[in-house]
Structure 1
């Protein structure tokens, strides 16, 4: 099993330069790794057997393939899993008798679960993929050398001068596009979280509301209630009618009881994913509100920068950021996440000194 998910460990390795913030990483990278791991587990017959197993002895492969393709069914109007002497029996309560076609609920999602998880992994990765392209290695160019030359003071000073020259140059339009691209990816994260909740609710038929009650029952230690609710979403066994042409040419109908082994795993995987998706939706929504606050409240931007600058004198920081646009502020904040706090404060002090020299310079002196 470890061999199956081992490639994901390389995907989650920390980079020397972080182009995503923590919430972006959780939403677009950790979620993708989690979904792919679930996909590998559900598609591995070595550990969990065939996805469907029917009781018919003759032509077993044909019967199982038929029920897998055309779908097994449960009784749609049942409100509680049947029990005998306090033990939950095979759901639905159709063993030994037929179910009218109008009362059947076919388990059509069963063969699509792996594909849906795989599709979700691609969708959740989309913002990270787009940002990696649009970012274009800018932060790596600005910050990577500080990690490589940390033991060399001379090289570190040289790289610091490169940063000072970069931020004293006019890149306002470039930085604005950089910021807009990142915000667009954050908006995508919010939309993907909401869309994912709607998709799973439609796919499983009221999944979110049912599983809220199931998780409450699990938290309370009521395993009977947990089994009752999860068996309505992920039944462990179902019936299947197979139509087959007899020797005389007439149709014959064979009634089968089939086990759905993967639903034992599905109910636990989606219990965890329920909590994870709710958490991700809440985090990206809060992050988007934070982003709106930084856009419309300049004082908040200044205080955030001052905290990163180890509270250097307020007047010095104000002068250092005098010509700093919103895009410049955003790139400076991204740089501060990838270099040491002492080096970042030195960068701001160098920007302050450069700005102070410019203000003392007489008009037209730079044209001489």
Structure 2
């Protein structure tokens, strides 16, 4: 199993330069890794067996398994769960003859698509990170890489600091605004993907969210029997299947068989965890957008956030260093500050202060 999920460890490795913030990383990278891990688990027959197992005294059981998998098993009120003498649940068809009218059948075909849906979800959640990686274009890596190399000499580090000072004293306001707008668009996309994913999951598994609210309330109250009763409505462990075959004369004959769905034991727990995870991702993405709007319209908060990162640099010095700083400039400056040490970031701001002071009061200006 470790060999199956080992490639995900490389995907989750921390990079020397972070082009995403913490919420973006959790939403687009950790969620993708979680969905891919669930996909690997559900598709690993060697660990959890076949997704459907039908019971019938018949020589051609492979045909029956394939038929019930393709055309879907069904549940009805005639399928009951009764405990065995050891307290475990077992499934048996209720009613005389075991015949279930078509109007009373609820076919279960979602289990054919669970793996594909989880895989598709992982691609969709990765989309904002993919777009931002293209639009970012390696800007932060170019600005911060030398500060992460341990073998870099002090002279080279000082030279690169001068490059940063020259960069932030140049006029890149339009470029930085597009940089910021692209990032915010990806954050909005994160929130939209979380909300749409929750709605579509309720369509894919009918009544999923409604049932799982009650299921989690049952867990909170410690009523595990209620939890089991509710999850069986969404992910039943056994179902019936009607196999239709044609005889030599062309007439059809049908036979009923009882099928077990062992992967639903895993599905009910995976989707319970995903229920909590998607709710948390929606909340964090919405909270981050709210914070982004506050910083966008409140320059005072932006100033104090930057000053805290600069280890409480003198207020007057920082104001002089940021006198021509637009919101896009502030955003890029904060992204650089999150990728270098606080000491080096303070040196950068002090150099910006010195440069801005020289521009306002050039040497010899008092003598003229």
Give the TM-score range, shorter chain: over 0.9
Partner of 1:199: 200
With 280-289 and 222-231 compared, the bigger mean Cα shift is at 222-231
Matched residues in 1 for 2:80 and 2:7: separation? 41
| CA positional deviation for 1:83 | 3.6
Partner of 1:274: 275
RMSD: 2.0
- 1:52 lines up with 2:57 in the alignment: no
Change in CA separation of 1:60 and 1:328 when aligned onto 2, cut-off 3 Å: same
Matched residues in 1 for 2:331 and 2:151: separation? 24
Partner of 2:111: 110
Partner of 2:338: 337
Q: TM-score, normalised on structure 2?
A: 0.94
With 148-157 and 222-231 compared, the bigger mean Cα shift is at 148-157
> Are the aligned partners of 2:54 and 2:260 in contact in 1 as well (CA < 8 Å)?
yes
Partner of 1:234: 235
Partner of 1:284: 285
| CA positional deviation for 1:298 | 1.3
Change in CA separation of 1:332 and 1:91 when aligned onto 2, cut-off 3 Å: farther
| CA positional deviation for 1:88 | 4.0
Change in CA separation of 1:37 and 1:330 when aligned onto 2, cut-off 3 Å: same
Partner of 2:18: 18
| CA positional deviation for 1:81 | 5.9
Matched residues in 2 for 1:304 and 1:206: separation? 44
Alignment of 1:148-297 (within 5 A): 148-149=149-150, 152-297=153-298
Q: For 2:259, what is the secondary structure of its paired residue?
A: strand
Partner of 1:318: 319
Partner of 2:36: 36
> Are the aligned partners of 1:81 and 1:228 in contact in 2 as well (CA < 8 Å)?
no
Matched positions, count? 362
Partner of 2:352: 351
Q: For 1:241, what is the secondary structure of its paired residue?
A: strand
| CA positional deviation for 1:87 | 5.7
| CA positional deviation for 1:162 | 0.8
Partner of 1:133: 134
Matched residues in 2 for 1:74 and 1:215: separation? 24
Matched residues in 2 for 1:81 and 1:294: separation? 57
> Are the aligned partners of 1:109 and 1:203 in contact in 2 as well (CA < 8 Å)?
yes
Matched residues in 1 for 2:48 and 2:156: separation? 56
| CA positional deviation for 1:200 | 0.7
Q: Deviations over 1:109-154 (max 9, x none)?
A: 1100000000000000000000000000000000010011566222
Matched residues in 1 for 2:57 and 2:11: separation? 45
Q: Deviations over 1:306-345 (max 9, x none)?
A: 1111111111111110000111000000001100000000
Matched residues in 2 for 1:92 and 1:235: separation? 13
| CA positional deviation for 1:35 | 0.2
5+ residue gaps, structure 1: none
5+ residue gaps, structure 2: none
Matched residues in 1 for 2:243 and 2:18: separation? 56
- 1:27 lines up with 2:27 in the alignment: yes
Q: TM-score, normalised on structure 1?
A: 0.94
